[in-house]
Amino acid sequence: DAGVTQSPTHLIKTRGQQVTLRCSPKSGHDTVSWYQQALGQGPQFIFQYYEEEERQRGNFPDRFSGHQFPNYSSELNVNALLLGDSALYLCASSLNTEAFFGQGTRLTVV
């Protein structure tokens, strides 16, 4: 079992650009959530996808959007990047209550 996989592992973008992060859930999991973790902070919930629909959203602007595909994999898109978007972006997959995280994508905005 490969677990939750995310790509890329690291990314450097320029302010104002757009970025797409990808996530493949753990085998058998149908729900994907995205979190943003700033240095020294706990992860903050961005949104969750289930059955290809956004089921719940956290307090993030519309610049953050996502998608879930029929095979349950997911993308996180961030438009008009700001310096403050620099963080570790985490994908978590779940089937019931317990969420399992990937290794994250470290995004640096310069």
Partner 1 sequence: EDQVTQSPEALRLQEGESSSLNCSYTVSGLRGLFWYRQDPGKGPEFLFTLYSAGEEKEKERLKATLTKKESFLHITAPKPEDSATYLCAVQRGGSNYKLTFGKGTLLTVNP
Residues at the site binding partner 1, with contacts judged by CB under 8 A: 4, 6, 31, 33, 35, 40-45, 48, 50, 55-56, 58, 88, 90, 92, 97-104, 106
Minimal distance, residue 5 CB to partner 1, in Å: 10
Q: Token pair for residue 2?
A: 């490969």
Which DSSP helix (H) or strand (E) runs through 5? strand 5-7
| Alpha-carbon span 101 to 42, nearest angstrom | 13
Q: Which is nearer to partner 1, 16 or 61 (CB)?
A: 61
Q: How far is the CB of 2 from partner 1 (least distance, A)?
A: 14
Letter string b/e over residues 81-110, b meaning 16 or more CB atoms within 10 A of that residue's CB = beeebbbbbbbbbbeeeebebbebbebebe
Q: Closer to partner 1 at the Cβ: 31 or 74?
A: 31
Between 59 and 71, name the residue whose CB sits nearer to partner 1.
59
Minimum CB separation of residue 61 from partner 1 in Å reads 17
